[in-house]
Amino acid sequence: MWAIGRLRSSLRREIWGYGLTAPAAVLTVLATVAIIAFLTWKGLSLFFVHKVPLSNVFSTAWHPERPAAEGGPQVGILNFLYGSIVVSTLATLISTPFGIAVAVFISEIAPKVGQRVLQPVIELLAGIPSVVYGYIGLSVLVPFIRNHLGGTGFSLLAGVLVLSVMILPTIASVATDSLRSLSHILRETAYALGATRWQMIRLVLLPAARTGILTGVVLALARAFGEALAVQMVIGNIPNSPTSLLIPIITLTSGITMYMGNTVQGSLWNDALWFMGLILLITSFFFIILVRYVGKWGVAK
C-alpha cells in the first residue's frame, strides 16, 4: 500500500512538471501566431476595406490627407521603405569593419586589455537605451551637421551615424564568440607555416569564422531596420527619397512612430501605417530566414 501511495504521488508530481512547463512553452507559439494573425489582418485592411490599388501603395506619392477632388488620397510607401533600407544598410557598412576589428582585438591582439576594457565597453554600449542614443544624436550630431555640412542637420547621415554606434555591440559580440570558438590548432598551424599574425588572422581566422561574423552582420542589419525612436529623433521624418546624405528622410518605423497616435483608427491614413507594420513583420521573417541560411552555409563547407 505504501509503495502504491508513493507511486501515485510521484506520478502526480510528474504531471505537475509537464502540466506547468509545457503550456508555458506552447504559449510562445500562441503569441507568435497571434502577432502574425493580428498584424496580417490589420495590415491588409488597406486592400480589403479601403480597396486601395497596389499601384497607389507602391509609389512614392505620400499625400494621405489630400481629398479625392485633388487626386488623393495617396499612400505611397516606397520612400519609407527606401529610407529604412538605405539607413540600415549604410549603418551596417560602417559598423561591420569596426565590429570585426574589435572582435579580433579582443580574441587575438590584446586579450587582456580586450577582456578588461573593450568587452565591458561593448556591453555598456549595448546597454545604453535607444532613446538616449537618439537624444545625443539630436543634441550633438544634428547641430554639428547643420553647422559644418549644411542643411537642417536632421538627415540620413545623422540616422546612419546614430544607428552604426547602436548596432556595433551586436556585430562585435557575435564575431568575438565565433573567433573564440575556433580551435587553437588553426592558429598554431598557421604560425608553424611561418605566417605573421596578420596573415594568420586574414587568411585563416576570418575565413574560418565567417559564418558567425555574417550572422552578426545580419542580426545588426535587422536591428537597424527595426529601430524606431533613435532614428525618428534625428532623420527629419520627411518623405524624401534618400538621394543625399544631408537631406531629411523618413523610414517605416519613424513614420509609424510619428503618425500612429495622431491618426483616426480605421482611416485610410491609419491603415497605411498598419500596412507598414506588416512590412516590418515580413522583413523580420526575411532576416530570420537569412540567418538560418547563413548558418547552414557555414556547416556545409
Site for another protein in 240-259 (CB under 8 A): 253, 256-257
Omega within 30 of 0 (cis) for the link into 73: yes
Measured distance CA(156)–CA(173) in Å, rounded: 26
Amino acid at 60: T
Instruction: Give which of 224, 232, 208, 82 is closest to 165, Cα–Cα.
Output: 224
Q: Does 222 contact another protein by CB under 8 A?
A: yes
Name residues contacting another protein, limited to 136-175 (CB under 8 A).
Answer: 136, 138-140, 165, 168, 172
Q: Provide the minimum distance between the beta carbon of 55 and another protein in the complex, in angstroms, as a whole number.
A: 26
Amino acid at 64: P
Q: Does 115 contact another protein by CB under 8 A?
A: no
Q: Does 32 contact another protein by CB under 8 A?
A: yes
Q: Does 122 contact another protein by CB under 8 A?
A: yes
Measured distance CA(275)–CA(272) in Å, rounded: 5
Instruction: Give which of 172, 176, 168, 179 is closest to 201, Cα–Cα.
Output: 179
Identify the burial level of 108 via C-beta atoms within 10 angstroms of its C-beta, where 0-12 means exposed, 13-18 middle and 19 or more buried. Answer: middle
Candidates 58, 71, 288, 297; binder of another protein (CB under 8 A) is 288
Q: Provide the minimum distance between the beta carbon of 301 and another protein in the complex, in angstroms, as a whole number.
A: 23
Candidates 97, 143, 150, 207; binder of another protein (CB under 8 A) is 97
Measured distance CA(221)–CA(288) in Å, rounded: 11
Measured distance CA(137)–CA(133) in Å, rounded: 6
Q: Does 91 contact another protein by CB under 8 A?
A: no
Residue range at the interface with another protein (CB under 8 A); choices 52-60, 185-193, 239-247, 286-294: 286-294
Q: Are 270 and 36 in contact (CB under 8 A)?
A: no
Q: Provide the minimum distance between the beta carbon of 228 and another protein in the complex, in angstroms, as a whole number.
A: 4
Residue range at the interface with another protein (CB under 8 A); choices 12-20, 58-66, 145-153, 204-212: 12-20
Q: Does 201 contact another protein by CB under 8 A?
A: yes
x-or-dash pattern for another protein, window 50-89, by CB under 8 A? ----------------------------------------
